[in-house]
Amino acid sequence: MEYDENGVSIVSNDFKKEIFEEAKKDFRYEEYVRGCLNCGVCTGGCPPHRFFDFSPRMVLQNCKSNDPALVWGMMDEYIWACFQCFTCAMICPFLNNPGGVIAILREISVRRGFESAKKVLKPYSRVLLKLTAYGNQLSPDMIQPDFFPDWGPHIGYASQDLPLKRKAIPMPTLQVTNLAWDVAPEAMKELYTIFEEAGVFKIIEVVDPSLYEIIQDIVDDVRSE
């Protein structure tokens, strides 16, 4: 993909059309994009709309316009502002689902390895590693003062004597520090097969090749145990 002097991607109209067609081919698309009265109730209730240049009404209107350029115009940081809370879907009188459309567009963005997706997800790689390699997303040892200084001095509590404090939790499955719970290796192996067969590993390879290599090393280790 080519970029102009401002780092904005230069793409042909054919490519924009290809992306829009890919979105419309998703089996969820017609369920999510129905009639839109442009009433704006979705945007009125949208939490990120209060803090970002983001409007679920525009997401729907752009899709309904059938103009690939308008849909392409959302494929940068715009789609990543959404909180995925689905307030829009719940309050829409026509049962549109702008949050669902966002999910479809994001999937395309990561599947194709768009630079905007790579940039947005770069700080997310530690979480992605934990989830994909071990089957858990958040672990007690991730809650460290240097990672979460804005959560206040009490965060230090969790990092001191962590193994002992976890042992004091009266659920044996939780008495670990490096995972939310002690995931059984057989469960991890099944998850790897699912990720392979569903194309999840392939997506990660596209969006973050270095991370993919690290994950594959861990997968190989767990499988060989």
Q: Which of residues 105-144 bind other proteins (CB under 8 A)?
A: 106-107, 109-110, 117, 120-121, 123-124, 127-128, 131-132, 135-140, 142-143
- Least Å from the CB of residue 154 to other proteins: 5
Token readout for 205 is 């390879």
Parallel/antiparallel/unpaired status of strands 9-10 and 2-3: antiparallel
Among 197, 210, 224, 225, binds other proteins (CB under 8 A): 197
- Least Å from the CB of residue 112 to other proteins: 11
Among 66, 194, 213, 221, binds other proteins (CB under 8 A): 194
Q: In this structure, are residues 156 and 145 in contact, taking their beta carbons and an 8 Å threshold? A: yes
Q: Is 55 exposed, middle or buried (0-12, 13-18, 19+ CB in 10 A)?
A: buried
C-alpha span between 3 and 207 (Å, rounded): 18
Nearer to other proteins, 15 or 94 (CB): 94
Under the binding rule (CB under 8 A), the answer on residue 214 touching other proteins is no
Among 20, 36, 42, 87, binds other proteins (CB under 8 A): 87
Under the binding rule (CB under 8 A), the answer on residue 204 touching other proteins is yes
Residues in region 148-187 near other proteins by CB under 8 A: 148, 150-155, 157-158, 161, 164-175, 179-184, 186-187
Among 9, 40, 70, 89, binds other proteins (CB under 8 A): 89
Site string for other proteins, 24-53 (x = CB under 8 A): ---xx----------------x-xx-xxx-
Could you tell me how many residues of this chain bind other proteins (CB under 8 A)?
85
- Least Å from the CB of residue 49 to other proteins: 11
C-alpha span between 18 and 24 (Å, rounded): 10
Stretch that binds other proteins, among 1-9, 10-18, 202-210, 213-221 (CB under 8 A): 202-210
Token readout for 198 is 């569903």
Name the residue among 17, 13, 36, 35 with its Cα closest to residue 25.
17
Under the binding rule (CB under 8 A), the answer on residue 90 touching other proteins is yes
Token readout for 77 is 């940081």
- Least Å from the CB of residue 194 to other proteins: 4
C-alpha span between 68 and 19 (Å, rounded): 8
* Chain position carrying tokens 């569903």: 198
Tell me how far CA of residue 93 lies from CA of 19, 24, 59, 63, 101, in angstroms: 28, 22, 16, 17, 17
Go through 111-122 and write b for each residue having 16 or more CB atoms within 10 A of its CB, e for each that does not.
ebebebbeebbe
Stretch that binds other proteins, among 13-21, 55-63, 200-208, 215-223 (CB under 8 A): 200-208
